[in-house]
Structure 1
Amino acid sequence: MHPNSAYRSGDRALQETLIDQVGIGMVFAQTSDGPRVAHTPLLSTGDGAVQFHLSRGNALAKHLIGQTALLVVNGPDAYVSARWYEDRNTVPTWNFIALELEGPVRGMEAEGTLAMLENLSRRHEGRAEGGKPWSMAELTDERKRKLVAGIVGFEMEVFAWRDTIKLSQDDSAGDRARIAEGLQANGSHAIAELMRTLVSDEETK
């Protein structure tokens, strides 16, 4: 994570919201075959753990159980042009939101894995537009069995939550407003809105 402590929120509710809204992350681990990474949907249990699953054929799946791994969730990001600063004797930068989660990983039984998949689909189906929401109840028992047989469910007990909320906190209110306007005009609506809502004037110079 970024070494500047000004970019740390330590806000657990915000961290949980990032997991919920982004919905997918990357899991990293060192293995006997070298470092490995995989993308996976994430589901926070709300009590300090995060669940995810991988295909049994994934190169990382066979190594994770019993290991300490790292999960990374990337939020909105955007290039910040130096043209948006009042003093152009500065340099461009990048604003972004990211979260690191570190902890030991255990394997999940088939029943727990299926429950995780049901919770994931229910949550995201509720956000999808058009048509009747899909439900896992529409699957036959045989289809469910094959689904669970083809994946491995995991749960990480998160020992460390580390976020970076880099939204021009170390710039003046005027520069921050101009940066947000520039990002908005460039189509980076999410990061512009977060600059306006997550950073208060008291956090700036």
Structure 2
Amino acid sequence: MRHTPVFALTDSAVVAQLIRDHPWATLVSNTTEGLVASHYPVLVEEGSDGSLTLLTHVGRPDERLHELGEHELLVVIQGPHGYISPGWYDEHPSVPTWNFVTAHLHGTPELLDPAENLRVLERLVDHFEERMPEPQLMRGTLENSAYADRISAGTVGLRIPVERFTAKLKMSQNRTEGSLRRIVAGLEGDGPYASAELAQHVRRANPAVFGEMETSG
């Protein structure tokens, strides 16, 4: 990923929140057979030292396709993103761009034994299910629990200690105040590239322009 200092995101706590907000991850391995990519939900744990650890699982035979545990794995997290029209800029001529937030996390995965795999599966299911009005927790009923025990054999749990990460928050931080206000107006409008979520991220990334009152909502 291209390094641009003004867009660099180095705070592990912010990256952890990005993962929690957007847990659908892309797992990429450079294997002896070539590149392999898969997609799975992940959980993140934060250490007191700022370290990050990812927890997830894959369905068999992905653990063999990725050669998991034999080499480094790249995990890509993609947050909000969207098109930014040059018509929203004060500067002319200008070219369009794409605003986004993303993180590339590197680590060698540890394959979990069946008992720990079950615990990770339970954490994953319960983490997402607990928001439902009638949560179907993995151990919520004897039937659910027995079913989980049966199907877990088709999965492999992973713990991925993050050895390093590169993250980028590109939300027009290099633009003038006038351009920033036009960008937000465009994103909050009703045009083809409107995105209220992206507009809020542009506000938060540029507090010197929008101020605490406008970025906290």
Query: Which position in structure 2 is the counterpart of 1:80?
Result: 84
Shift of 1:144: 2.0
Contact in 2 for aligned 1:69/1:105 (Cα 8 Å): yes
Shift of 1:116: 1.4
1:187 and 2:194 equivalent? yes
Helix, strand or coil at the partner of 2:200: helix
Query: Which position in structure 2 is the counterpart of 1:15?
Result: 15
Instruction: Determine the C-alpha separation between the residues in 2 that align with 1:60 and 1:150.
Output: 13
Aligned residues: 200
Per the alignment, do residues 62 and 25 of structure 1 end up closer, same or farther by CA in structure 2, a change over 3 Å counting?
closer
Query: Which position in structure 1 is the counterpart of 2:45?
Result: 45
- 1:96-111 map, 5 Å: 96-111=100-115
Query: Which position in structure 2 is the counterpart of 1:134?
Result: 136
Query: Which position in structure 2 is the counterpart of 1:197?
Result: 204
Q: 1:66 aligns with which of 58, 65, 70?
A: 70
1:123 and 2:130 equivalent? no
Q: Which amino acid aligns with 2:83?
A: Y
Query: Which position in structure 2 is the counterpart of 1:143?
Result: 147
Q: Which amino acid aligns with 2:202?
A: M
Helix, strand or coil at the partner of 1:45: strand
Helix, strand or coil at the partner of 1:64: coil
Q: What is the TM-score of this pair, normalised by structure 2?
A: 0.85
Contact in 1 for aligned 2:44/2:55 (Cα 8 Å): yes
Query: Which position in structure 1 is the counterpart of 2:213?
Result: none
1:163 and 2:167 equivalent? yes
Structure 2 residues not aligned, in runs of 5+: 210-217
List structure 1 runs of 4+ shifted beyond 6 angstroms. none
**RMSD value over aligned CA atoms?**
1.8
Structure 1 residues not aligned, in runs of 5+: none
Contact in 2 for aligned 1:29/1:68 (Cα 8 Å): yes
Contact in 2 for aligned 1:103/1:159 (Cα 8 Å): yes
Q: What is the TM-score of this pair, normalised by structure 1?
A: 0.90
Q: Which amino acid aligns with 1:190?
A: E
Helix, strand or coil at the partner of 2:14: helix
